[in-house]
Structures are given as structure tokens and as C-alpha cells.
A = this chain, B = another copy of it.
Amino acid sequence: MTNGHAPAAPPRSTLVVTAHAGDFVWRAGGAIALAAARGEKVTIACLTFGERGESAKAWREGKKLDEIKAIRRDEAERAAATLGADVRFFDAGDYPLVESAELTDQLVTVYRDTQPDVVLTHPVEDPYNGDHPAAHRMALQARVLAQAIGYPGDGEIIGAPPVFYFEPHQPEMSGFKPEVLLDITDVWDTKREAMECLGAQQHLWEYYTDLAVRRGVQLKRNAGPNLGLAHKTMAEAYMRPYPQIAKELA
């Protein structure tokens, strides 16, 4: 959908809600970098640092909880800066990330503050990590609450921004079916650089590079030979839980 923005409109705003400090890089780094490259605003709401569930290497090295949080925060901040986004930490505690009315309310505030045109978050299921579905549920509930004039709090109510689910680590086991293939070829180098900020998970650098190649092959397979796509198209996959609003079928 193309929106003809009036000249003085504020830049488009993207809100990314994630469970752990690394998620936005592996799963949505390309979308974030593309938006930033267009001059848009991107805000990452990072509910936990992934300090317990996704920092095995640091624990095995004998690091303490606070040290681990600091390392993860630092990595995430550098990755966000590389991509061109702001990151806000909620330090809600992971493994398990517990849903609560308070944390959801904090997210409502973020929604009203950032007035997102697009929302990215985890999909419904993940049988390997319960924090992801918990973040998903709070992100979606807060989006609905933030639309209601009767829900208390500062800031203007929001519209109904489209939501995209980014890809989980084991897509087939999590009910993930690619519904949108986003061409991230132009910002691939930036995404790779952001991934390399995450030193604790170096084994994933190649893994997510391969994934981008494969999603790129599928993009080309669904686009036909005649679109002038790059030889090595890189892509990210997303799902859409709400209907797309369109002016044109394409």
C-alpha cells in the first residue's frame, strides 16, 4: 500500500516488541534497517535482556546475572545503533517472562508515545521458548488497549497499525508460514554488521546468513524471472495476522 503522505507529516514510525535482547537483530534486522534507511523512526521495546535463557555461554564462563545483563544490553544497543533504531529496555525478567497487567500497561504507553504505523513482534507459538509467545500476547493486547479512548494514560490513542510476525528459530515447528517476503538485499551488509555486534551468539551469524539466502531464493521463486532482482537476493519472512489494506492488488 502506498500512502500519499502530506508534506509536513511526521516520519513513519515502526515499533518492534521482542522478548530478548537479540531477537530484533536475527529476525527483523533487515526490516529495521530498511525503515531507517528511508528516514523513518524505529523503536525497539525489548522486554528482557535474555539474561537467563539465551546467555548460556556467559553462564558457563561463570559470569554473574548483572554482568550478563550489562553485556546483553551493550550488545543490543550497538546492534540497534548499527541498524538505525532506538532500543528501550524493560528488564522484566526472562525464563520465564511473566505476563502482567503492569508490563502490558507500559507497552500501551510506548504505543501511544511512538504512534506506530507498523508493528513487528513474535508469532503466536514457539514450543522451544515460552517467552516469545508471552511477548506476543502482551504486544497484541497493548495494541488493542492503546486504541481505546477509555483506556487511561498519557498520550493520544493510536489507529490500528498493521502487525507483522517475524520468523522464529524453528519455523515449521511454530506454525510459521511465510506470508510476506521482504527484499533486504540493499541493507544486507548493515544487518550482517548488526549481527556481528552479538558476540555471545557467534554460531548464529552463518545460520541467519544462510536463512536470508534461502528466503531470497523463495522470493525470486514467487516473483518470476523478469523482475530484475539481484543475483543474490536476501530476504526476511513475515506473517500478517490482520488483513492487508490495499489500493491495488499486486
Interchain CB contact under 8 A, B53 and A150: yes
Beyond A95-B145, A223-B245, whether A207 also contacts B214 by CB under 8 A is yes
Within 8 A of B (CB), among A16-56: 31, 34-35, 38, 51-53, 55-56
Interface centre among A51, A52, A245 (most CB of B within 10 A): A245
Interchain CB contact under 8 A, B224 and A147: yes
Interchain CB contact under 8 A, B144 and A224: no
Residue from B31, B173, B179, B207 in contact with A178 in the complex, judged by beta carbons closer than 8 Å: B173
Q: How many copies does the complex hold?
A: 6
Q: For this complex, into which size category does the number of interface residues on chain A fall?
A: 35 or more
Instruction: Report the minimal beta-carbon distance from A144 to chain B, rounded to whole angstroms.
Output: 6
Interface centre among A52, A55, A176, A244 (most CB of B within 10 A): A244
Which residues does A use to contact B, with CB under 8 Å?
Answer: 1-3, 14, 31, 34-35, 38, 51-53, 55-56, 59-60, 68, 95-96, 98, 101, 104, 117-118, 120, 127-130, 140-141, 144-145, 147-151, 158-162, 164, 170-173, 176-183, 207, 210, 213-214, 217-219, 221-227, 237-238, 240-250
